[in-house]
Amino acid sequence: MSEDASTTPSPTNDPKPKDASDGLASLDLTPPTLVRAVTIGALSYAVAWVAACITTVLALLAVSLDDEDVSWWWILTAPGQLVAMAFRSPAVGSFDSGDEDFAMSGKVSVTAVPLTILLVATAVVLILSRRDERRGPANTVKGMVSLAVASALTFVTIAFVIALVLTPGEDDTSYRASQFQLILFGVAALTVVALVGRRPLALWSAFRSIPVAALDAGRAALVHFLVFSALAVPAIAIYIAAEGSPEAILAMPVALINLVIFALTLGHLGALSANGFGGFFGGSDSDSDTFWLFSDDAPKVFLLLIVFAVVATLAAAVTLRLRHDGAPRTTAHWVWTPLVFAIAGGAMSLLATVSFNAGFGGAVGGGVSAGPAAWFLLVFAVWGAAAELGSRTIAPALVGLVPAAWQRRVVGQRPEPLAAPEGPPAEAAGTAPATAPPPAAGQALDARTKKILIGVGVLVALGIVAVIGISVANKMYFGPEKQAEAYFDALSSGNADDALDLVRLDYSSDERVLLTDDVLEASDTTISKASFGDVETHGDTATVTARYTIDGAQQSQELTLEKTGSRFGVFDEWKIIDPGLGTVSVTAPGASSLDVNGLSVDVEGLDDGVTLPAFPAEYQIAPDSGSSLLSYGAKTVTIGKDEESLEFEAEPNNQFMAQVAQQAKTFLDACIKRHEAEPEGCPNRTYWSDLKDVSWKLTEEPTYTVESDYEGGWTFSTQTPGSATVTATEPGLFDGDADSKYTDKVDISISGTVQVSGDAVTIEVDDSYF
């Protein structure tokens, strides 16, 4: 028996090894629930990625429609980066110039939360978590937290990996948004959202401990934002289209909520600010700029945002009234409503702010941040106080206009008290239980009051529509772009007078010789394919950039316009004060007029040069001296935007030269007939004054050349000298000596000036050297 005992294994006290199910059990999880939680995170990311992909495609389409080259590889890489950026993960890029002669490398960082993608991601997590909880309740708070964390971790892990792997970039640049902020913000935010989905806020004890006044204010702030967004979104789209950039509407979805927050900031009299800073080898500087509704360069149509803000505030006031069931408002509401609005304003400012930082080799760096000004939370708090005031004054009269279904949705589910006070039931006191009246939805309005309020509402709606309509009409039919379009339409059809009717010019009539219908219509080349963009308005002044084709080349120029009044007191009237005309400078000494495109135009000052404004067109220019003896030739110039300079020099023709030679011969013939050894004013001179019986004979005629004196006149000179022979009797040297025969040969050269009068020339010989 002892032997058997020795061979029988004795019992052991070692614990059984734990498997994975034990670890899940400690978190109140089971494998199926964990799988569903992971699936929620994965599906939520997939939906967010698809939303980001759609916005990317739309943005690329918008860029391509603007005649820009795009890389469609961004469809694969950009969505992952956008989802990561939605959770405050900055996109960090590195670049290298790759140029050995000018090497430059550095890093850039952009923090911009695409709130539309963030809203999609959180909404999907919320909805899927709620559906999963209904399918299989977690039953315990620990289980809910564990499932929420699992979903959040799954989403963030996928987002981090995809943003890290699918990185956009080119040869020497790359960008990625897989940063630590994605993990920190993403896990926290998505865990909270998933928890709310699994257990409504009203059921959490922490939520029920929040003062009712604060919860009411939160609901009012949400309604305020939604109503403002419903009004602002179509207005933003209309404004973008009216500004001449309809393709930009395609890019709106990715930044839609950001745009709404910017509009909300301006409409509530806040400001958008841009703060920049920089450093250069240890130095630093900073700059800031602020834009609000009453800035000089703020379009007047932006004032409509104030109307949206007022309407949203009235909606918030009605919400506060409904949430409180018509009971008297207390002092606590005066505190909580502005405070909650301030918190909402601060949160929107934080999420909508865009930051950019750049560094180059560690020596040069800087950055800028743009978004709602930091003090917007205080401004929004004031509007919250206005909503609280409205709930006590105006809201009771407005509640009757709100549909009952919308009232129930606005009121929502209010949290139950943490603990109900114990006491004897009403039956024990011998009284019948009291029946509580249904919540009051506001006092009923009589028919007359309803009609008045409805009429006021219709008038307000018509006013809003009228303001939007007038704004759109001003942009599309009466804006500066339309004036620029009419101007270029006139030029392309050769109607200079019609173009000048749209322009205010300070040129004199003598300077407008090229700005005529006849000259422009006779041009072989005018502008075509005119398009317009980049309209910048600053108060009553606007600048329009025009692009057009002329002579096969692309050109662009800026037109400056000024608002000169209004038509019917409603529609703006614009005048072009600087059409960006080109100029042509012409210098043609001696010319009295110009032949332009086959038409003769009188121009003064051609001797010293004159600068003439010109429309974009081709001009064939040939100066005219008024004489058939001179020719300047012709030059062709195409005026786009830049100044052109033409210099002409008259060339004498054969007839001119023949007349000069003939008059020179007449002059010499007169000199040869002189029987003097030194005839005054003549080139035939022997310098032997006492000769007798002098006779001259021109043995060889000189040839001549003519040159311009660059002042509109002409000079002539001997090109090849001629010769003359003189014969005479030379007296004896001493008394009694016999006379002798004298013979000599001299060179003949003359020079002087030439005057041109019509088709004849007159020479004047310079005898100062004879």
Over residues 738-760, the pLDDT tens digits come to 788 989 999 999 999 998 888 88
Over residues 344-389, the pLDDT tens digits come to 999 999 889 988 877 765 555 677 888 998 889 999 999 999 999 9
63, 138 in Cβ contact below 8 A? no
- Please report the pLDDT score of residue 2 as a whole number: 42
Nearest C-alpha neighbor of 191 from the set 223, 149, 220: 149
| SS3 assignment, position 375 | coil
- Please report the pLDDT score of residue 401 as a whole number: 77
Nearest C-alpha neighbor of 193 from the set 139, 220, 156: 156
Taking the C-alpha atoms of residue 159 and residue 84, their distance in angstroms, rounded to an integer, is 6
pTM listed for this prediction? 0.58
Taking the C-alpha atoms of residue 343 and residue 140, their distance in angstroms, rounded to an integer, is 32
- Please report the pLDDT score of residue 466 as a whole number: 64
Dihedral sign from CA coordinates of 487, 491, 493, 498? positive
The pLDDT of 717-741, averaged and rounded, is 85
Over residues 98-114, the pLDDT tens digits come to 555 555 667 788 888 89
- Please report the pLDDT score of residue 6 as a whole number: 42
Q: Give the angle subtended at the CA of 764 by the CAs of 758 and 765, to the nearest 5°.
A: 150
The pLDDT of 215-231, averaged and rounded, is 92
82, 114 in Cβ contact below 8 A? yes
- Please report the pLDDT score of residue 717 as a whole number: 93
Taking the C-alpha atoms of residue 261 and residue 264, their distance in angstroms, rounded to an integer, is 5
The pLDDT of 308-322, averaged and rounded, is 91
| SS3 assignment, position 426 | helix
Taking the C-alpha atoms of residue 499 and residue 343, their distance in angstroms, rounded to an integer, is 56
- Please report the pLDDT score of residue 444 as a whole number: 46
- Please report the pLDDT score of residue 722 as a whole number: 93
Taking the C-alpha atoms of residue 634 and residue 589, their distance in angstroms, rounded to an integer, is 14
Q: Residue 558 phi/psi, 5° resolution?
A: -105, 140
Query: H-helix or E-strand containing 109?
Result: strand 105-111
Taking the C-alpha atoms of residue 144 and residue 708, their distance in angstroms, rounded to an integer, is 102
Taking the C-alpha atoms of residue 240 and residue 255, their distance in angstroms, rounded to an integer, is 14
Q: Give the angle subtended at the CA of 668 by the CAs of 667 and 670, to the nearest 5°.
A: 70
Size of the chain in residues: 770
DSSP lists the bridge partners of residue 584 as 612, 644
Q: How confident is the model at residue 4 (pLDDT cuts 50, 70, 90)?
A: very low
Please say if the pLDDT value at position 164 is more than 80. Answer: yes
Dihedral sign from CA coordinates of 331, 336, 339, 345? negative
Burial bucket for residue 509 (CB in 10 Å: 0-12, 13-18, 19+): exposed
Retrieve residue 687's tokens: 């310098």
DSSP lists the bridge partners of residue 109 as 92, 357
Please say if the pLDDT value at position 117 is more than 50. Answer: yes
Nearest C-alpha neighbor of 338 from the set 224, 228, 222, 217: 217
CA 696 and chain centroid, separation: 87
More confident residue, 479 or 343: 343
Amino acid identity at 313: T
Please say if the pLDDT value at position 175 is more than 90. Answer: no
Please say if the pLDDT value at position 425 is more than 60. Answer: no
pLDDT more than 70, % of the chain: 78
CA 571 and chain centroid, separation: 25
Burial bucket for residue 673 (CB in 10 Å: 0-12, 13-18, 19+): exposed
Strands 599-602 and 630-631: unpaired
- Please report the pLDDT score of residue 479 as a whole number: 74
Please say if the pLDDT value at position 619 is more than 80. Answer: yes
Please say if the pLDDT value at position 458 is more than 70. Answer: no
Over residues 257-295, the pLDDT tens digits come to 999 999 999 999 998 988 765 544 344 444 567 888 887
Please say if the pLDDT value at position 176 is more than 90. Answer: no
Taking the C-alpha atoms of residue 514 and residue 520, their distance in angstroms, rounded to an integer, is 8
- Please report the pLDDT score of residue 421 as a whole number: 46
Question: What mean pLDDT, rounded, does the chain reach?
Answer: 80
Over residues 644-682, the pLDDT tens digits come to 888 888 888 889 999 999 999 999 999 999 998 888 899
Please say if the pLDDT value at position 632 is more than 50. Answer: yes
Taking each helix axis from N to C end, the angle separating 376-393 and 304-323, rounded to the nearest 10 degrees, works out to 60
- Please report the pLDDT score of residue 483 as a whole number: 83
Alpha helices in 199-211 (DSSP H): 205-208
217, 336 in Cβ contact below 8 A? yes
| Residues in Cβ contact with 195 at an 8 Å cutoff, skipping those fewer than 6 apart | 129, 144, 145, 148
In whole angstroms, how far apart are CA 148 and each of 40, 118, 206? 9, 17, 18
Dihedral sign from CA coordinates of 38, 40, 42, 44? negative
In whole angstroms, how far apart are CA 443 and each of 316, 387, 450? 18, 19, 12
Residue 769 CB coordination number (10 Å): 8
In whole angstroms, how far apart are CA 729 and each of 196, 683, 738, 740? 139, 21, 10, 6
Q: State the DSSP string of 142-200.
A: HHHHHHHHHHHHHHHHHHHHHHHHS--B-SSEEEE---HHHHHHHHHHHHHHHHHHHS-
Taking the C-alpha atoms of residue 589 and residue 651, their distance in angstroms, rounded to an integer, is 11
544, 481 in Cβ contact below 8 A? yes
Q: How confident is the model at residue 136 (pLDDT cuts 50, 70, 90)?
A: confident
Q: What is the dihedral of CA 406, 352, 151, 93, to 10 degrees?
A: 160
Taking the C-alpha atoms of residue 44 and residue 38, their distance in angstroms, rounded to an integer, is 10
| SS3 assignment, position 714 | strand
Residue whose token pair is 């207005």: 235
Nearest C-alpha neighbor of 582 from the set 498, 654, 645: 645
- Please report the pLDDT score of residue 221 as a whole number: 94
Specify which of 300-309, 405-414, 695-704 reaches the highest per-range mean pLDDT.
Answer: 695-704
DSSP lists the bridge partners of residue 355 as 111, 369
Q: What is the dihedral of CA 385, 391, 397, 400, to 10 degrees?
A: 130
DSSP lists the bridge partners of residue 526 as 617
- Please report the pLDDT score of residue 700 as a whole number: 94
| SS3 assignment, position 607 | coil
In whole angstroms, how far apart are CA 578 and each of 38, 61, 488, 617? 65, 35, 13, 18
Please say if the pLDDT value at position 435 is more than 80. Answer: no
- Please report the pLDDT score of residue 232 as a whole number: 92
- Please report the pLDDT score of residue 44 as a whole number: 94
More confident residue, 480 or 264: 264
Nearest C-alpha neighbor of 161 from the set 20, 41, 29: 41
Q: Residue 752 phi/psi, 5° resolution?
A: 170, -160
- Please report the pLDDT score of residue 749 as a whole number: 93
Retrieve residue 318's tokens: 């009605």
- Please report the pLDDT score of residue 440 as a whole number: 43
DSSP class of residue 503 equals B
Over residues 17-67, the pLDDT tens digits come to 445 555 566 666 788 888 999 999 999 999 999 999 998 888 888 777 765
Taking the C-alpha atoms of residue 118 and residue 185, their distance in angstroms, rounded to an integer, is 11
In whole angstroms, how far apart are CA 461 and each of 85, 216, 231, 458, 467? 38, 28, 11, 5, 10
- Please report the pLDDT score of residue 51 as a whole number: 93
More confident residue, 301 or 338: 338
Taking the C-alpha atoms of residue 587 and residue 585, their distance in angstroms, rounded to an integer, is 7
The pLDDT of 715-727, averaged and rounded, is 93
Over residues 528-575, the pLDDT tens digits come to 877 776 677 777 788 888 888 887 777 778 888 888 776 666 677 888
Taking the C-alpha atoms of residue 377 and residue 289, their distance in angstroms, rounded to an integer, is 19
CA 62 and chain centroid, separation: 14
Least reliable range by pLDDT among 156-165, 446-455, 749-758? 446-455
DSSP lists the bridge partners of residue 347 as none
